[in-house]
Amino acid sequence: MKMKWAFLTIVFTAFSILSGCDLLVLDPKGPQAETQADVIKLSIGIMSVIVVVVFAILIYILVKYRASKQPDDYEPPHIEGNPIVETIIVAVPILIVTFLSIVSVQSNYAVESAPTGYEEKEPLVIYASSSNWKWHFSYPEQDIETVNYLYIPTDRPLEFRLYSYGPITSFWIPQLGGQKYAMADMITTLHLAADVPGEYMGRNANFSGKGFAKNTFNVKAVSQDDFDEWVDEVKETADPITEERFDELLEPGHLGQLTFNGTHLDFMPPPMKHGSSMEEGDHEEMNME
């Protein structure tokens, strides 16, 4: 009876915890996120099989070799190791680890490259910089800038160039792809794409002080035509960003969503060093613009 209640308690606790989790990584809306979701599901499936098999063997051993009423002078037979069993218990884990390692390496290469199906399309470049505790998104091609929200077109590759004006942060849009660090004095590049229009959650996934919990941003994926209309509207209605205004934005604190005409890249260029496939020529081209 005690075992029954202990089992039910564990099951109830697990369901209670999982019911409060919004597993966005398992609801992908882009090719990069889909690749990662497939790897996660594969890993969960393999681990589930392992757990079931191990517990089945454990139960079998406990039942078959449970204590029995033997005479006091009983001596169990001497049993030598079984080469077949020993080979299995060594070889199977090696095969599992090898398989998962190959899958992980292949998926890492896939998500670090241009999204599948978008290799021939020109990416939309967005500089994403963080400060305590907000996100600044600069669109050099459109010459506009937003704070704490993103507008992106669907069916077009996105190239985020990440860096930080404060502590190390981690840029993450769970339904579009994995996270990547944004650091001071260095640019890292993240390739994403959105296949489906919608609104998604983005956040800093790396603890960066007392304001970390609210260091989030909204992402709205729309068609290319709607994106172009939004850009035109911003160019007509938004106030220009100035160096003084940007210095104010860098002060620690939380802000709502802001929109500006122009970008801070004109008076405060991004770092020249990079830790990704971004070439030095990209910086020179941006500075010339």
Q: What is 25-77 written as a DSSP string?
A: GGS--SHHHHHHHHHHHHHHHHHHHHHHHHHHHHHHHHHHT------TT--PP
User: What average pLDDT does the chain have?
Assistant: 88
What local confidence, expressed as pLDDT, does residue 3 receive? 64
Give 227-230 contacts, CB < 8 A, sequence gap 24+: 227/151, 227/152, 227/153, 230/151
Parent domain of 54: 23-65+79-112
Rounded-to-integer distance, Cα 106 and Cα 217, Å: 30
- Give the chain's domain count: 2
Maximum C-alpha span of the chain: 97
Within this chain, do residues 49 and 189 fall inside the same structural domain, yes or no?
no
Within this chain, do residues 57 and 93 fall inside the same structural domain, yes or no?
yes
Rounded-to-integer distance, Cα 162 and Cα 129, Å: 6
Q: Say if residues 116 and 31 touch (Cβ distance below 8 Å).
A: yes
If one counts every other C-beta atom within 10 angstroms of the C-beta of residue 270, the result is 20
Rounded-to-integer distance, Cα 63 and Cα 117, Å: 54
Mean pLDDT calculated for residue range 143-153: 97
Is 207 inside a domain boundary?
yes
**How would residue 71 be classed by pLDDT, with cut points 50, 70 and 90?**
confident
Within this chain, do residues 33 and 170 fall inside the same structural domain, yes or no?
no
What local confidence, expressed as pLDDT, does residue 244 receive? 96
The angle at the Cα of 162, spanning 255 to 250, to the nearest 5 degrees, equals 30
Question: 20-24, 55-59, 115-119, 182-186: lowest mean pLDDT where?
Answer: 20-24
Within this chain, do residues 162 and 245 fall inside the same structural domain, yes or no?
yes
Helix (H) or strand (E) holding 193: none
